[in-house]
């Protein structure tokens, strides 16, 4: 079973919190034990040092004399009652001579080990947490100092001890308070974690629901956008993607519908005429006439098929652009000369034809196809006696060449102008003159110009003229070649 992000986030947060609290507890216990032990040892050492300093001023030869002094017993008793510690007075061999505790806590028959006495003598003092050579039945903090007389002789040892059970009580209290605090912190953190997780995951769930609805065919589904964080950016990106996919789907549906319409019309015409010839409806003397119509419809289908293949190659990136530097007027001149008969037949006047060498960096075949389509449209929609104007301008500063072809006529309406480069937008909708053509020519021109690094657009004065303009990158002239005589002259120097 897959875990949700919220459960994973909660589990991760819980593990981090528990791990952090456990580590904090271990560190706290360690420092508490270290502090309590250091404090206890410092207190005991202070007490035994005080007794040592007081006893060392007494003129005594051994520890037994010290233990018999009423002043010594009184000082030890007062200090024991004030500090809650047990004080022992031993001889130089570790035998207990006096004990401030009158309970069974101290085993008076035991002696302090020689090892402890040696360390106390060599270091001047000794501390431990333990049973002090079996004198105590449970662990005590103990501090020991040698007792030295006025002749600088060790006559015994003074020992102060405190029950270590107080540490356990202290640690239990600290641990109980820590556990309660940790439980409250975990509870509060869990509540905040759940609230925060729901706040983070809620937008993701809404985006997921929108994506599922979109995947199930509801192309209008969108994710709600709130805030400016990464999740909001994800929602905006999803909505942008959905808008584009919806537009692509609408374009695909329109494309398929237009293809079906464009194919159905000529095929219906072809089938009708052929059936008429086969069943004798069309007489033999009219067959050539209708066969020419059928041939024209077949040609129309062929052009439509080629146009669709060109669009497919352009949109899938299969169309290879081979750009070179060449004179754009060469292509313009060749196209105009090839359509000279149409200019003459319809008495169309050509203006602006001034073939001055202007270099562009583009694929000559692409430029030829674009210019051919635009000039062909201009000839179709220019009335008899009209004018077609050609203008080519170069802008070296901005690095592009602009080609403008303007024809007189009805022009393009303002409503239709934004759509003239869309697929299957028929010319009769924009100019109201002709219904022929597939409506793919200008769309292909736009794709080709975009692939060439330029842009194409249309301008119109309704009822007067229409102008198609496109730009191409400027070409770079070839550097002049030196003559052979110049090369030879340099070589002879």
Q: Within this chain, do residues 467 and 337 fall inside the same structural domain, yes or no?
A: yes
Question: Both 132 and 246 in a single domain?
Answer: no
List phi, psi (to 5°) of 429.
-75, -30
Number of separate domains in the chain: 3
- 430-to-4, 99, 166, 374, 469 alpha-carbon distances in Å: 56, 121, 101, 14, 17
> Does residue 200 lie in a domain region?
no
Conformational region of residue 145, where left means phi above 0, alpha means psi within -120 to 50, and beta covers everything else = beta
Q: What are phi and psi of 280, to 5 degrees?
A: 85, 0
Q: Which of 377, 390, 402, 392 is nearest to 349 (CA)?
A: 390
Domain that holds residue 73: 5-169
CATH number of the CATH domain containing 430:
3.30.565.10
Please give the pLDDT value at position 490: 47
Residue 18: CATH number of its domain: 3.30.450.20
Q: Tell whether 190 is covered by a domain.
A: no
Instruction: Identify the pLDDT of residue 329.
Output: 93
Domain CATH for 273:
1.10.287.130
In a domain, 247, yes or no: yes
Asked if residue 162 and residue 17 are part of one domain, the reply reads yes
Would you state the pLDDT for residue 451? 82
> Residue 409 falls within a domain, yes or no?
yes
Same domain, 346 and 449: yes
Domain for residue 439, yes or no?
A: yes
Residue where a domain terminates, one of 316, 348, 375: 316
pLDDT at residue 397 in the model: 87
CA 292, CA 277: separation in Å to the nearest integer?
Answer: 13
Pair 415, 282 in one domain: no
131 and 67 in one domain?
A: yes
Cβ pair 159, 87 in contact under 8 A: yes
Mean pLDDT by 10 residues, the chain (493 residues): 66 84 86 83 86 69 62 78 85 85 82 89 88 87 85 84 79 83 84 78 80 82 77 83 79 66 72 84 82 80 68 63 88 88 91 90 86 89 93 91 93 85 59 48 82 90 92 81 51 38
Domain-located, residue 303: yes
Q: Is residue 482 situated within a structural domain?
A: no
Of the three residues 169, 203, 219, the one that is the final residue of a domain is 169
The pTM assigned to this predicted structure is 0.47
Residue 133 resides in a domain: yes
Residues 329 and 467 in one domain: yes
344 and 252 part of one domain = no
The last residue of a domain, from among 286, 316, 346? 316
pLDDT attached to residue 431: 38
Residue 208 to residues 219, 221, 233, Cα–Cα distance (Å): 14, 11, 14
Rounded-to-integer distance, Cα 262 and Cα 264, Å: 6
Residues 294 and 345 in one domain: no
Q: Which pairs count as long-range contacts for 148-153, CB under 8 Å and 24+ apart, including other chains?
A: 148/52, 148/56, 149/56, 149/58, 149/59, 149/60, 149/61, 150/56, 150/57, 150/59
Tokens of 386: 């009209």
Shared domain check, 341 and 309: no
In terms of domains, do 241 and 332 share one? no
SS3 198: helix
20 and 154 both lie in a single domain: yes
Q: Are strands 96-99 and 126-130 parallel, antiparallel or unpaired?
A: unpaired
Decide: helix, strand or coil at residue 160.
Answer: strand
């Amino acid at each position: 079973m897959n875990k949700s992000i919220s459960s994973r986030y909660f589990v991760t947060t819980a593990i981090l919190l528990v791990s952090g609290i456990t580590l904090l507890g271990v560190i706290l216990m360690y420092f508490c034990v270290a502090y309590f032990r250091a404090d206890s040892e410092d207190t005991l050492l202070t007490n035994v040092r005080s007794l040592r300093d007081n006893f060392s001023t007494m003129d005594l030869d051994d520890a037994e004399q010290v233990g018999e002094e009423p002043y010594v017993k009184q000082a030890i008793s007062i200090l024991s009652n004030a500090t809650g510690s047990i004080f022992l007075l031993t001889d130089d061999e570790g035998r207990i001579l006096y004990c401030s505790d009158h309970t069974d806590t101290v085993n008076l028959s035991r002696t302090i080990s020689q090892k402890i006495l040696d360390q106390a003598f060599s270091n001047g003092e000794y501390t431990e947490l333990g049973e002090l050579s079996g004198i105590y039945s449970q662990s005590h903090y103990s501090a020991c100092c040698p007792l030295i007389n006025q002749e600088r002789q060790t006559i015994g040892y003074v020992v102060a001890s405190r029950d270590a059970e107080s540490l356990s009580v202290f640690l239990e209290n600290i641990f109980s308070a820590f556990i309660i605090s940790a439980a409250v912190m975990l509870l509060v953190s869990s509540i905040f974690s759940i609230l925060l997780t729901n706040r983070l995951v809620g937008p993701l769930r809404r985006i997921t629901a929108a994506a599922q609805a979109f995947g199930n065919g509801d192309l209008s589904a969108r994710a709600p956008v709130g805030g400016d964080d990464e999740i909001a950016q994800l929602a905006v990106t999803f909505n942008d993607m959905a808008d584009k996919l919806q537009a692509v789907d609408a374009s695909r549906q329109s494309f398929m519908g237009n293809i079906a319409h464009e194919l159905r019309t000529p095929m219906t015409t072809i089938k009708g005429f052929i059936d008429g010839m086969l069943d004798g409806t069309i007489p033999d003397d009219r067959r050539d006439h209708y066969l020419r119509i059928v041939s024209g419809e077949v040609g129309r289908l062929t052009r439509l098929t080629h146009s669709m293949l060109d669009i497919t190659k352009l949109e899938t990136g299969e169309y290879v652009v081979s750009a070179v530097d060449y004179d754009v007027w060469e292509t313009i001149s060749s196209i105009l000369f090839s359509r000279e008969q149409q200019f003459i037949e319809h008495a169309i006047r050509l203006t602006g034809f001034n073939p001055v060498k202007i270099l562009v960096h583009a694929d000559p075949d692409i430029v030829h196809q674009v210019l051919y389509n635009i000039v062909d449209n201009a000839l179709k929609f220019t009335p008899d006696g009209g004018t077609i104007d050609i203008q080519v301008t170069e802008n070296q500063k901005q690095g592009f060449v602009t080609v403008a072809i303007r024809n007189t006529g009805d022009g393009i309406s303002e409503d239709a102008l934004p759509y003239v480069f869309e697929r299957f937008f028929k010319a009769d909708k924009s100019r109201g003159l002709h219904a022929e053509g597939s409506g793919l020519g200008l769309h292909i021109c736009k794709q080709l110009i975009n692939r060439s690094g330029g842009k194409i657009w249309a301008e119109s004065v309704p009822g007067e003229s229409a102008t198609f303009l496109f730009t191409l990158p400027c070409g770079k002239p070839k550097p002049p070649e030196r003559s052979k005589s110049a090369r030879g002259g340099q070589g002879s120097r």
